[in-house]
Each structure stands twice: as C-alpha cells, then as structure tokens.
Structure 1
Amino acid sequence: MTDAAILHFMCGKMGAGKSTFAMAMASSNAAVLLSEDDLLRDLYPGGVTDLGSYVTLSGRIKRALADHICALLRQGISVVLDFPANTAAQRAWFRKLIESSGVSHQLHYLDVPNDTCRHQLRERRARNGSDPLQDDATFDALLAHFAAPTPEERFTVVRHERT
C-alpha cells in the first residue's frame, strides 16, 4: 500500500458544495483535482442535456480515467475526484480505484439540508445562466436516488455537517 497518496472523493446532494470543497481539499493537500463537470463540459460541449446523457458520458470518462488515476496514486500523488459518490452504484467505481491502486482513501460526506442545497442551486443558476440540469426538478430526481454511505460499504467516511 502506498502510504503517501490518498484518494479523496465526495458524497453529497446536488448543491451541497462538493466542487467548492474538492477545490479546497486539492489545494490544501497538494493533490491533483479532477472534476467531472469540467471534463463533461470540455469533452462533450452541450452533450449533457438530460440525466440519460449524463450517465452515458460520465461512464465514458470514468472508463477512460480509471487507469490514469490509479497510476497517479501508485506514484504517491494524492487525487481529489470531484465526481459524485451519491449512490452505492457510483461508489462501486471508487471502490475499484481503491482496490486497484492499494491506497488510503477518504470519502467526504457533505451532509447539507435540502433547503440549503436548493438555495445554493438557485445562486449557481443565477451566476452561470440557464443550465438545464440546475433546477428543482433535477434536484428532486437526483434526491430520489441519493443514498448516504453505509458501514457495510467499508469506506473511511469523513462527515462534514452544514446547516
């Protein structure tokens, strides 16, 4: 196991502040930050139009990056993944990365109330224009699938509560 490198990843509802937290985590830990939102925007401009297209394109990015992420970790370089770990199925990808690379990890669970998340989404939408997936309907659809990490998943969970 590589002692120096740590894989950091986030769990939290849409609008919980995962991206802001990930940027701060990467900066304070001298880690490489990979952002799913940035990759989707840059590799597939306008390609994410609904949840189905998101799932397809996200899967492509994860398959393409998995070996590279593990290589960085094996070289002793910590990585912060700003990719959602909001369901057991999503967390299975992170488990594979951990097992393949043999490094320590921290799953940062941003436990933020729904009202706060909705407020932050409205602020983000006002700043960034009309992103079709930054609305209450998408929040509700994703919230229906959200599942906090469980002890059975065997992750090292660091919980961050916010009101």
Structure 2
Amino acid sequence: MDKIKSTLHFICGKMASGKTTLSKKLAKEEKAILISEDIWLQRLYPTEINTFEDYKNYSARLKTILTDHIKEILLSGVSVVLDFPANIPKTRNWIREIFESTSANHLLHVIDMTDEDCLRQLHKRNLERSEGSIVMTEEEFFMVTSYYIPPTEEENFNTKEY
C-alpha cells in the first residue's frame, strides 16, 4: 500500500486579507500542523521587532530555525500549514525548497482582495488584537503592501484562489 504524501499549504495575500484566518481553517480541515510566523516571532522576540527592517531580519532568522523542523514534519507524513506571508518570490522559493526536498505535495492559497477590503479588516484586527497580531496603521499597510508580488504562472505552483 502506498503511503499518503503530506501537503505543505502556504498562503499569499495582502496584509489583513485573511491569511491567518484561512490558515487556521485549513489546519483544522486538513488535520495539519499550523506554524504561525507572527506567533513564533512574538514569543521569541517580544521586544526586538520595532520596525519593518527588524521584522525582515528576525523573520529570516526564524526561517533558518524552522526549515529542518518543517521538513521533518512533512517527511513523517503530516501535512503543514505555513502561516507565513508567501507574498514575494524569495519566500515562495524558500517554501519550494522545503516541499521539493521532501517530495511533499504543495498548495499555494492565493487571496485576492482589494486594498479597501483589507483596510476594513485591518481596522477590525487592530481592535480585536488576537495573539500574534500587532496594531498597524494605514500608512504601514500601504508600505508593506508595496512589497507584495502575486505569484506568476511561471512559478508553477499548484494554486487555489479565493
């Protein structure tokens, strides 16, 4: 009997588009391990991240810490949902290296929302302050969103769009 392969789920979408909400839903539906960048960063570096540059530096450090761990989970046959913003090719390439090196399946979930809808959700998120979230201004939203690069067909991912 063939062993069922694990799947690495990852999500692309603008800030406040619902990536974390979708991640939680997928983890429950797929009976997968959820790994949330925001929660890991908040717990490991509670006072060190004060700027977007800080975030980029600590996020890169976290990826080096978690890469082998994620691979081991996938190799054990358990699926993983990465709640990391797969919003730029560099991050998607890191994720590709993980699933290709483990021969795991993959699925890139792409959330397409307008800036206006994201801003509405951002204001709601700022009020609710769930674990891992930080208060972000509209100016910060537009600054972070300026880095957003949607995936292209040439990247050749299995995708599902929302």
Bucket of the pairwise TM-score, normalised by the shorter protein: over 0.9
By how many angstroms is 1:4 displaced? 2.6
User: Secondary structure of the equivalent of 1:81?
Assistant: strand
The answer as to whether partners of 1:2 and 1:74 remain within 8 angstroms in 2 is: no
The TM-score, its normalising length taken from structure 1, stands at 0.92
Question: Structure 2: which 5+ runs fail to align?
Answer: none
By how many angstroms is 1:33 displaced? 0.3
1:12-38 Cα distance to aligned partner (Å, 9 max, x none):
000000001000100011000000000
Whole-Å separation in 1 of the counterparts to 2:102 and 2:52:
30
Counting matched residue pairs gives 159
The answer as to whether partners of 1:32 and 1:79 remain within 8 angstroms in 2 is: yes
After TM superposition, the structure 1 = structure 2 runs for residues 50-129 of structure 1, keeping only pairs within 5 Å, are 50-128=51-129
Please point out which of 103, 116, 131 is paired with 2:134: 131
Question: Structure 1: which 5+ runs fail to align?
Answer: none
Kindly indicate which of the two structures has a greater share of residues assigned to strand: 1
The TM-score, its normalising length taken from structure 2, stands at 0.93
1:106-154 Cα distance to aligned partner (Å, 9 max, x none):
000011111010011011112229935x111111112111111101111
Whole-Å separation in 2 of the counterparts to 1:107 and 1:73:
16
1:33-83 Cα distance to aligned partner (Å, 9 max, x none):
000000011000022211100001001110001011011101100000000
